[in-house]
Every structure is written in C-alpha cells, then in structure tokens.
Amino acid sequence: ALGAPTNFYGVKGAEEYCLKLDNLQDANEIRDACIDAFEKASKIRSEEERKKFLTFAVIGGGPTGVELAAELKQLFSDTFDRYYHNIYCAQEASVYLLQRDGELVSQFKMWMRRYVKDVLTNKGVNVLLNSTVTEVTPEGIFLTGGKFITAPHVIWVAGVAPKLCPFTPEASCDASGRIHTNEYLLVPPNVVPAEAGIQARIFALGDNAHVKD
C-alpha cells in the first residue's frame, strides 16, 4: 500500500500551474490561494476584471473533484460573501468542473451521476462534460479543439498514478504500473523474484492493485 502521487497524464503545463489535492498541506495551499485571490480581487475596481480573476477550474469529475467544486462554491457564496462586501461573490466568483467523460462520478450508478450533476448545477457550478484538457497556462486552460477557458486558478484532481513496488518485475504490472492481483488482492507468488528472499504472501492494496474481476 505505497500510496499514489498525482497523475498529470503528460498534459502540458499541468504540473507547473495546477494546484493538487493529495494531502492536508495541499488543502491548506488551496485555501490560502482562495483567500489570496479574493484579497487581490477586492482591490480591482472593474467588475468584469474581477470576474475573470475569480474564475476557478477543477479538473476531474470523480468524487474528489465533485466534492471540491461544491465546497469551493459554498465557501465563496457563504463564507467569503460576509467578508468581501465590495464583491458579489455568488455572481462574480465562478467555479468550473471539467470531466473528460460524459458522466460525473462514473463509478456510481446512473441515478447518482444525474443527482450529482443536478446538485452542482443548482449550486452554480459550471459542469463541462466531454471536456479534455490539453494544456494549462497561467491564464487558463485549453481543451480539445482549441477552446480556451480563462481560469487563473486551476486545481487538478483528475487521477493518480501508482508507486512502483521495487521488488515486483515489470511483467506483473498493467500498462499504468498497477500490480496484477487475484480477487483477494494477493500478488501471485511467481512474480516475486527468488533473489528477493521474500517468502511471505504479498498483497497489493488501493491504487497499487489491478484486479481483473
């Protein structure tokens, strides 16, 4: 159970310009970035410029992205609205949620996917499905087809990559590096080289495991 770092899938600029959400420190950085953005926006006189500056994009429509987008919108509309009286937070702060597939939280049943989308839309989150990010810049994000969305603040929660196990040969992993296991998450004994000197049974857990069935 080696954990899993953020997977940026080779998208240009994603690692350089995106915030991520892997641990508590990342969460603190997102919170601080939000506060900093509103502090700066409170000094911008033009409403149009404030709207551009207060655009946040969450990339990844899984459970983490869905929850984060909803929390951001609530933070802006409820909490920040009390402090920044010269900003109409509910109108001027935008949150986009981008998902490359046609459904949010695709691992859940269809009724749940529709319910989640309806809740986010009612909260004011801009849900963009079938939207694949091809590049991230300091000013915003490019999608397939060349469409550009101005978003100075981008958070990447589109997936994770497994950490490779040092004693497991490459042949026992799938294309993404997850270790093949049986239905009990047990790593077949023949994949551990004899020179490793390991006799105990080995299990692969979480994002390090590839379970066929």
Report pLDDT digits (tens) over 37-89. Answer: 999 999 999 989 999 999 999 999 999 999 999 999 999 988 998 888 888 87
pLDDT at 85: 83
Rounded to an integer, what is the distance from CA 199 to the centroid of its chain? 38
* Confidence band for 21, pLDDT divided at 50, 70 and 90: very high
184 by DSSP, 3-state: which? coil
Q: Which of 14, 35, 20 lies closest to 140, judged by CA?
A: 14
Mean pLDDT of 129-135: 96
pLDDT at 108: 93
Query: Could you read off the pLDDT of 97-126 as tens digits, one per residue?
Result: 999 999 999 989 999 999 999 999 999 999
Rounded to an integer, what is the distance from CA 182 to the centroid of its chain? 29
Q: Which of 59, 22, 67 lies closest to 134, judged by CA?
A: 59
2 by DSSP, 3-state: which? coil
φ/ψ of residue 149, rounded to 5 = -115, 120
- Enter the pTM of the model: 0.84
Instruction: Please check the confidence at residue 170 and state whether its pLDDT lies above 90.
Output: no
- Degrees, nearest 5: CA angle 57-62-68: 45
